[in-house]
């Protein structure tokens, strides 16, 4: 017997009302709304509310939600001091994972009810950007910048990280990036979050586990790897030989391919356009180089394997963040700033779903292919 469901591809494990991907048509909906519409008409805060509460907020609800986020955006002095004790070259994802787990110890809170979980969600959505921005300041030997209650979520992060308030255009670009990354059904990190929550562990624990899953280069870590690739390629003339060489060795091109989309990832479409516009404004070469990476990978894939391949969400976010002057190794933590919303919605659904069938503790089965040992020695046998 051999394992049939490697990587659990296509296996249905739970019901969800949070989002849906149509991988054939390249469509993604959050709680019934097309993400392309949300990027045009909504804000990150409105989208976060929608994902958590299954309905777009009224004006009053949105104001209250924003005000709760604003109240929760600070982190304690003790946390800031603790950050100063970390090695300055520590990976920001490791730091984020540790501090999110530590939130459970810094704040004395009730965990058990659904209502308490919404408060936890707000605390996490508010504090993840502050933790990342504070770490950026600490490792650069700069003073931490406190959140500004007059700024929205996207602008606040950029402000706390750089000390400068972004203009409206940059704020809108970053806000759109946050909307696009907020949720994506049972991706690797969300599944981890749900799995941990299925044991009845609390939200900080499930979220820190999800951050660990996001950090890997086949998942959220790909956006940092894309930027490293672009820098290594360096010039547009170097794209074709570079990609051909890597693909002829069977290496993967980061930011290309997806486990579910069999066509263009709708998030990549929006990010591509934002990156094109920003490059036209700044004169940066990174959009043009990224586009050449896309077309060359598509051509090489067709030639080598007769298969189609498309960009995923990480391809154009890398150059976009670079042009926004965000340090390259913060690309994946920024993914977490947004995806923490999806994780929280899934953790709440996993723990408190009212509709049948109710979720159960995840416990898949493994196929043992190891040895059997006795007095005569060990042998491998297939059962």
**Residue, CB closest to ligand ACO:** 257
- Phi, psi (rounded to 5 degrees) for 271: -65, -35
Question: Using CB under 6 A, which residues numbered 179 to 198 contact ligand ACO?
Answer: 187
Site map 106..145 versus ligand ACO, x via CB under 6 A: ----------------------------------------
Distance CA 110, CA 118 (A): 11
Residue with tokens 């591809």: 9
Angstrom distances, CA of residue 100 to CA of 51, 67, 136, 205, 321: 21, 21, 16, 8, 23
Per-residue contact flags (x/-) with ligand ACO for residues 265 to 294, judged by CB under 6 A: ------------------------------
The rounded distance, in Å, linking the Cα atoms of 85 and 228 is 28
Write phi, then psi, for 371 (nearest 5 degrees).
Answer: -95, 160
Residue (of 255, 372, 257) closest to 318 by Cα position: 255
Q: Which of 227, 254, 334, 340 binds ligand ACO (CB under 6 A)?
A: 254
Q: How far apart are CB 28 and ligand ACO at their closest, in Å?
A: 12
**Among residues 68, 244, 252, 276, the one that binds ligand ACO under rule CB under 6 A:** 252
Q: What does DSSP say about strands 27-30 and 33-34: parallel, antiparallel, or unpaired?
A: antiparallel
> In terms of DSSP H, where are the helices of 16-113?
35-41, 44-53, 59-72, 77-84, 92-106
To the nearest whole angstrom, how small is the minimum distance from the Cβ of residue 216 to ligand ACO?
9
The CA distance from 339 to 207, in Å, is 10
305 binds ligand ACO (CB under 6 A): yes
Distance CA 131, CA 83 (A): 9
**20 vs 113, which CB is nearer to ligand ACO?**
20
Q: With CB under 6 A as the contact rule, which of the stretches 111-119, 156-164, 217-225, 346-354 interacts with ligand ACO? A: 217-225
Q: Does the footprint of ligand ACO cover residue 11 (CB under 6 A)?
A: no
Burial class for 150, CB neighbours closer than 10 Å (0-12, 13-18, 19+): exposed
CB contact at 8 A, 182 and 71 = no
265 is catalytic: no
Residues 306-345 that bind ligand ACO (CB under 6 A): 309, 312-314
| Span interacting with ligand ACO, options 27-35, 64-72, 83-91, 214-222, rule CB under 6 A | 214-222
Radius of gyration of the chain (CA): 22
Interface pick for ligand ACO out of 256, 293, 318, 323 (rule CB under 6 A): 256
Nearer to ligand ACO, 9 or 363 (CB): 9
314 is catalytic: yes
The smaller minimum CB distance to ligand ACO, of residues 122 and 230, is found at 230
Report the C-alpha gap between 235 and 14 in whole angstroms.
Answer: 46
**Catalytic member of 153, 258, 265, 346:** 258
Q: Given 184, 265, 314, 346, which residue is catalytic?
A: 314
**Rounded distance between C-alpha atoms, residue 195 and residue 360, angstroms:** 9
Tell me the closest approach of the beta carbon of residue 300 to ligand ACO, in angstroms. Answer: 8
Minimum distance between the CB of residue 299 and ligand ACO, rounded to whole angstroms? 12
Could you count the other beta carbons within 10 Å of the beta carbon of residue 15? 12
Active site members: 258, 314
Which residues make up the interface to ligand ACO (CB under 6 A)?
187, 218-220, 222, 247, 252-259, 305, 309, 312-314
């Amino acid at each position: 017997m051999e394992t049939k469901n490697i990587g659990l591809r296509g296996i249905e494990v739970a019901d969800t009302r949070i989002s849906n991907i149509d991988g054939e048509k390249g469509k993604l909906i959050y709680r019934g709304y097309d993400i392309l519409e949300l990027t045009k008409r909504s804000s990150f805060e409105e989208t976060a509310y929608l994902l958590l509460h299954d309905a777009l907020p009224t004006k009053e609800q949105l104001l209250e939600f924003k005000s709760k986020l604003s109240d929760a955006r600070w982190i304690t002095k003790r946390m800031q001091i603790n950050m100063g004790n970390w090695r300055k070259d520590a990976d920001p994802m490791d730091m984020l994972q540790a501090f999110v787990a530590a939130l459970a110890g810094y704040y004395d809170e009730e965990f058990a009810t659904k209502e308490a979980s919404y408060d936890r969600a707000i605390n996490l959505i508010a504090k993840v950007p502050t933790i990342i921005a504070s770490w950026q300041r600490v490792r650069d030997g700069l003073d931490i910048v406190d959140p500004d209650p007059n700024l929205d979520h996207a602008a606040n992060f950029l402000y706390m990280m750089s000390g400068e308030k972004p203009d409206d255009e940059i704020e809108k670009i970053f806000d759109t990036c946050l909307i696009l990354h907020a949720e994506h059904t049972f991706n690797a990190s969300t599944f981890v979050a749900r799995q941990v929550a299925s044991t009845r562990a609390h939200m900080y624990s499930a979220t820190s586990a999800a951050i660990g899953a996001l950090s890997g280069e086949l998942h959220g870590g790909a956006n940092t790897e894309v930027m490293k690739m672009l820098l290594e390629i360096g010039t547009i003339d170097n794209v074709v030989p570079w990609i051909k060489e890597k693909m002829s060795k069977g290496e993967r091109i980061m930011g290309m391919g997806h486990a579910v989309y069999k066509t263009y990832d709708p998030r990549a479409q929006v990010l591509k356009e934002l990156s094109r516009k920003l490059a036209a404004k700044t004169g940066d070469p990174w959009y043009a180089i990224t586009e050449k990476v896309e077309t060359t990978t598509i051509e090489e894939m067709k030639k080598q394997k007769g298969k189609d391949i498309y960009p995923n969400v990480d391809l154009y976010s890398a150059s976009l963040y670079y042009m926004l002057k965000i340090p390259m190794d913060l690309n994946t933590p920024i993914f977490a700033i947004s995806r923490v919303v999806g994780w929280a919605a899934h953790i709440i659904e996993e723990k408190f779903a009212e509709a049948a069938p109710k979720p159960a503790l995840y416990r898949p089965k493994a196929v043992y292919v190891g040895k059997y040992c006795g007095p005569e020695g060990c042998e491998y046998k297939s059962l």
